[in-house]
């Protein structure tokens, strides 16, 4: 099909114009352009990386937690009121601090749940409001990284 | 002859245009510069911080030696600060200092960089910058920087240094209005009674749950006591009935509850102390009028920045 040049040119202009107007109609994400202050932030920030090296002892200690997560958690049907959930907290603690300290932190978490809601902030996860109690909230006083500076030492009277 | 005449006439006709060309270009330059600056300021005022940053960068790219290039470079940091993007704000202010080391806005930029660092948790560096703002030749933020510095000293229980600053004759005019309040804050913080983590841990070691009671976390204390009691009893019964396997498992769990309880008591005392410090800090921010600060004065815009501490 041999079309005259002028027709080809007009067709090209028409197509380009159509593409241009079509792209103009696509609105930008206002939330992103306004900056994150305007956006609703949900979920917890990952402050620091976990240690990431797990030995055989860590695997053994983590096994019951994995068992609970895969076979029991769904059966019981209750979701943890805390974020991260106790089982995830346990895995994070074991990965970050090793088997022994991680296990101790897990037992501590299970015991201090009752009063933590009074002092820890709420956080929206999915559609649920949970109590935000990350690992850094419980190990900040002895485990520090360049990102998590300790609070100044308090004078005891 | 006719040709020469017509050429001369043409030159005479075009000459004014040529002479005005420079002026027109200059006017266009000024207009464009003002336009971008105003647009960036409008976006900033409307809370469109990312767009304001883009426009400020456009300005700096098109007019690197423009009249307001310093203010525009600083406004990038301000916009990040308004967006609560602390790390980006610090980087933008650093870029501003590198580009304009002798700027008259350096004092204010230093102050806002200190705020961003404070929000990031880099308290020591923020303190250093507040001191730098105070020792600077001229800055409208001197009074605010002095109040922040004193408040940080009070938070860290460095009372002697705070009192010394309060009595400093050079600083006194900047904090004269809030001097009474600062004294009250100092007195209140001196009277704070902290929990001893060692005592809490020792109490929990002696009697599970006692450390939590000491920390006034009564429900935690009851749970800890009950869990320990139940597992000790169960393990004892298991050993008594020669069920050593179950006894060993229960003992392992009991060790967990026991050590976890001690850890929780020590950590709980630290948390109580941290909360006391933070409560006093927040009260200080409120009482010393540090919750808000005017920011982003470029282009005639004035936006209030709140510190969500």
- Residue in chain B closest to A112 (alpha carbons) equals B220
Q: Best-predicted range by mean pLDDT among A13-17, B62-66, B169-173?
A: B62-66
| Paired tokens of A28 | 């930008």
Is the CB of B264 less than 8 angstroms away from the CB of A108? yes
Neighbours of A75 (CB within 10 A): 7
Is the CB of B259 less than 8 angstroms away from the CB of A36? no
State the nearest Cα–Cα gap between B249 and chain A, in angstroms.
13
**pLDDT at residue A22 in the model:** 55
Average pLDDT over every residue of B28-43: 86
Q: Which residues of A touch B (CB under 8 A)?
A: 32-38, 103-115, 119, 137-141, 147-149, 151-152, 154-157
DSSP state of A145: B
Tell which residue, B147, B209, B201, has the closest CA to residue B174: B147
* DSSP notation for B226-282: HHHHHHHHHHHHHHHTT-HHHHHHHHHHHHHHHHHHHHHHHHHHHHHHHHHHHHHHH
Is the CB of B263 less than 8 angstroms away from the CB of A38? no
> Cα Rg for chain B, rounded, in angstroms?
32
A33 closest CB neighbour out of B50, B195, B257:
B50
What are B304's strand-pairing partners?
A: B294
Q: Give the rounded percent of residues in chain B with a pLDDT score beyond 70.
A: 93
Kindly list the residues from chain A whose CB atom is less than 8 angstroms away from the CB atom of residue B220.
111-115
Mind listing the pLDDT tens digit for each residue in B85-104?
Answer: 999 999 999 999 999 988 88
- Residue in chain B closest to A102 (alpha carbons) equals B260
* pTM, two decimal places: 0.72
**pLDDT at residue B306 in the model:** 72
Is the CB of A36 less than 8 angstroms away from the CB of B85? yes
What are B306's strand-pairing partners?
A: B292
Tell which residue, A96, A134, A120, has the closest CA to residue B274: A120
Is the CB of A151 less than 8 angstroms away from the CB of B277? yes
Q: For the ranges B27-41, B267-281, B284-298, which has the lowest average pLDDT?
A: B284-298
Is the CB of A157 less than 8 angstroms away from the CB of B194? yes
DSSP state of A71: I
A73 pLDDT tier (thresholds 50, 70, 90): confident
- Does residue B56 have a pLDDT over 90? yes
Kindly list the residues from chain B whose CB atom is less than 8 angstroms away from the CB atom of residue A137.
271
Q: Chain A to chain B, count of Cβ pairs less than 8 Å apart?
A: 112
Angle (deg, nearest 10), helices B49-62 and B2-45: 150
Cβ contacts of B62-71, under 8 Å, gap ≥ 24: B62/B32, B62/B33, B62/B36, B63/B29, B63/B33, B63/B36, B66/B33, B67/B33, B68/B33, B68/B37, B68/B298, B68/B299, B69/B100, B70/B96, B70/B100, B70/B103, B70/B104, B70/B105, B71/B105, B71/B298, B71/B299
- Does residue A12 have a pLDDT over 90? no
**What CA–CA distances, in Å, run from B240 to B118, B226, B255?**
59, 21, 19
- How many Å apart are CA B57 and CA B64, to the nearest integer? 10
- Does residue B175 have a pLDDT over 60? yes
Neighbours of B242 (CB within 10 A): 7
ipTM: 0.71
CB-side exposure of A114: number of CA atoms within 13 Å?
A: 14
- Does residue B161 have a pLDDT over 70? yes
State the nearest Cα–Cα gap between A26 and chain B, in angstroms.
17
Is the CB of B261 less than 8 angstroms away from the CB of A108? yes
Question: Residue B303 in 3-state DSSP?
Answer: strand
| Paired tokens of B20 | 């005005």
Pairing mode of beta strands A122-125, A82-83: unpaired
Asked whether the bond before A84 is cis by omega within 30 degrees of 0, the reply is: yes
- Residue in chain B closest to A106 (alpha carbons) equals B260
Is the CB of B48 less than 8 angstroms away from the CB of A34? yes
- Residue in chain B closest to A139 (alpha carbons) equals B267
Return the higher-pLDDT residue of A58 and B303: A58
What are A145's strand-pairing partners?
A: A148
B66 pLDDT tier (thresholds 50, 70, 90): confident
**pLDDT at residue A15 in the model:** 84
8 Å CB contact between B208 and B225: yes
| Paired tokens of B94 | 């650093």
Is the CB of A152 less than 8 angstroms away from the CB of B155? yes
């Amino acid at each position: 099909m041999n079309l005259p040049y002028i027709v080809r040119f007009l067709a090209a202009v028409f197509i380009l114009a159509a593409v241009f107007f079509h792209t103009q109609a696509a609105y930008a994400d206002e939330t992103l352009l306004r900056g994150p202050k305007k956006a609703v932030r949900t979920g917890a920030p990952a402050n620091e990386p976990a240690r990431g090296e797990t030995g055989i002892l860590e695997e053994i200690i983590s096994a019951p937690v994995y068992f609970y997560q895969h076979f029991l958690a769904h059966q019981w049907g209750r979701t943890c009121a805390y974020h991260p959930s106790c089982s995830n907290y346990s895995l994070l603690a074991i990965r970050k601090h090793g088997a022994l300290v991680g296990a101790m932190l897990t037992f501590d978490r299970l015991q201090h749940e009752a009063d933590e809601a009074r002092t820890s902030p709420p956080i929206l996860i999915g559609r649920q409001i949970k109590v935000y109690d990350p690992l850094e909230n419980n190990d900040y006083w002895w485990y520090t990284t360049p990102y998590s500076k300790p609070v100044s030492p308090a004078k005891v009277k | 002859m006719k040709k020469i005449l017509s050429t001369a006439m043409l030159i005479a006709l075009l000459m004014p245009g040529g002479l005005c060309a420079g002026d027109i270009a200059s006017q266009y330059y000024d207009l464009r510069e003002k336009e971008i600056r105003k647009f960036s300021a409008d976006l900033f005022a409307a809370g469109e911080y990312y767009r304001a940053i883009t426009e400020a960068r456009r300005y700096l790219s098109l007019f690197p030696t423009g009249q307001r290039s310093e203010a525009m470079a600083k406004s990038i940091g301000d916009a990040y600060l308004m967006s609560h993007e602390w790390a980006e704000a610090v980087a933008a202010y650093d870029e501003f200092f590198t580009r304009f080391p002798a700027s008259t806005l350096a004092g204010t930029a230093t102050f806002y960089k200190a705020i961003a660092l404070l929000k990031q948790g880099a308290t020591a560096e923020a303190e250093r910058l507040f001191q730098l703002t105070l020792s600077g030749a001229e800055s409208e933020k001197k009074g605010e920087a002095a109040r922040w510095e004193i408040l940080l000293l009070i938070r860290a229980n460095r009372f002697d240094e705070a009192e010394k600053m309060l009595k400093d004759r050079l600083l006194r005019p900047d904090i004269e209005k809030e001097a009474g309040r600062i004294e009250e804050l100092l007195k209140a913080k001196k009277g704070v009674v902290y929990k001893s983590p060692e005592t809490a841990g020792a109490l929990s070691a002696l009697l599970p749950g006692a450390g939590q009671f000491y920390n006034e976390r009564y429900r935690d204390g009851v749970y800890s006591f009950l869990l320990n009691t139940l597992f000790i009893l169960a393990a004892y019964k298991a050993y008594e009935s020669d069920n050593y396997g179950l006894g060993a498992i229960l003992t392992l769990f009991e060790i967990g509850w026991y050590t976890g309880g001690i850890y929780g008591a020590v950590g709980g005392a630290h948390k109580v102390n941290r909360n006391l410090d933070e409560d006093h800090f927040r009260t200080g921010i409120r009482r010393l009028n540090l919750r808000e600060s005017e920011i982003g004065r470029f282009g005639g815009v004035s936006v209030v920045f709140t510190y969500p501490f």
